[in-house]
Amino acid sequence: MNFQMTLRAALVSLIALGAGTTASADQLADVKAAGKIVTATDMHYAPFDMLNNGTYEGMTKDLFDEVSKEIGVEPLYQDIPWPAELPGLEVKKFDIIIAPVTITPERLERYTFTLPIADATVALVKAASSDLKAPEDIKGKTVGVQQGTAQFKQLEAFGDKLGGVTIKEYGTTDEAYADLAAGRLDAVAGSLPNLTYLVKNRPETFALFEPAKFGEPKYFAWALRKNADTEPFAKAINDALLKMTDDGRVKAIQEKWLGTYTELPREVPAK
């Protein structure tokens, strides 16, 4: 009787241990078992993410739709304010952040990044009627930027180097663009693809500085939690992106939304 109970307890423990290992050691397996990838993005970041009459669209969606097909699951898209995305990822509210996240050394220590999906080099936009020209002309001016972004940090460092810039933070880039158009800002800092798209669609209102870019070259990617569980998941996404690069899908999607194609690194940058 005691031997049977002991044997039964041992078997139950082994089964529980095996089930626990299977459920928690591989995020890709969990995603495939669920049949979906739960994502977070800020749908106010054209041309990557935007709402058009309530419908989600943009370069990010087109890319991730194709990645999800390659993995064999359905994407679940959620509109989450940018400041809540990285904290939400860490407490497992979603599987991945697909809002373009700038790769930085500090973030590389804390998160797993996919391959780059776009250029993220910081740039400046102004009102079309503005007399400002070069990036250095923002000295002593008021410049808007989305809060909590790598572009904010680069703008802050650039402003210090110039000798002073008043920085105004915004929850979304759309809010910053609205204040720039209304004359409440002298410029807005953001990634070059976002600002190029803005000027392309509203040339009567906005113009790029000449040159528009300042600071070090940077890239956008998608972010996952940093642990061994995520490694197969990240690899599956990267394999899909490389396949899409080689068969021309990435080029077609870039040209659709950005009007041009930028060849991207085939490895995750170290900084």
Sequential pLDDT tens for the chain (271 residues): 443 433 344 333 333 333 333 344 799 999 999 999 999 999 999 999 999 999 999 999 999 999 999 999 999 999 999 999 999 999 999 999 999 999 999 999 999 999 999 999 999 999 999 999 999 999 999 999 999 898 999 999 999 999 999 999 999 999 999 999 999 999 999 999 999 999 999 999 999 999 999 988 899 999 999 999 999 999 999 999 999 999 999 999 999 998 889 999 999 998 8
Note whether 271 and 103 are within 8 A (CB).
Answer: yes
Do 200 and 249 lie in one domain? The reply is: no
Tell me how far apart the alpha carbons of residues 201 and 24 are, in angstroms, rounded to a whole number.
Answer: 46
Instruction: Record the tokens describing residue 237, joined without a space.
Output: 């996404």
Task: Give the per-residue pLDDT at 215.
Answer: 83
Q: Say yes or no: 37 and 170 in one domain.
A: no
- Residue 118 phi/psi, 5-degree rounding, is -170, 160
- Please tell me the total count of domains within the chain: 2
Sheet holding 49-52, edge to edge: 44-45, 49-52, 55-57
Taking alpha carbons only, the member of 215, 221, 225 closest to residue 161 is: 215
Q: Dump pLDDT digits (tens) for 92-151.
A: 999 999 999 999 999 999 999 999 999 999 999 999 999 999 999 999 999 999 998 989
Find the CATH number of the domain harbouring 59.
3.40.190.10
Q: Could you tell me which residues come within 8 angstroms of residue 10 by beta carbon, excluding any fewer than 6 positions away?
A: none
What is the reported pLDDT for 94? 97
Assigned domain for 19 exists: no
7: in domain: no
Same-domain check for residues 128 and 178 = yes
Residue 161: its pLDDT value, please?
A: 95
**CA–CA separation, 66 and 240 (whole Å):** 8
- Sign for the pseudo-dihedral over CA of 126, 130, 131, 137: negative
115 and 152 both lie in a single domain:
no
- Residue 129 is part of which domain span? 122-213
Dump the DSSP string for 158-180: HHHHHT--EEEEESSHHHHHHHH
pLDDT at residue number 23? 40
Closest alpha carbon to 217 in 103, 106, 125: 103
Q: State how far Cα 33 lies from the chain centre.
A: 25
Residue 62, number of CB atoms within 10 A of its CB: 18
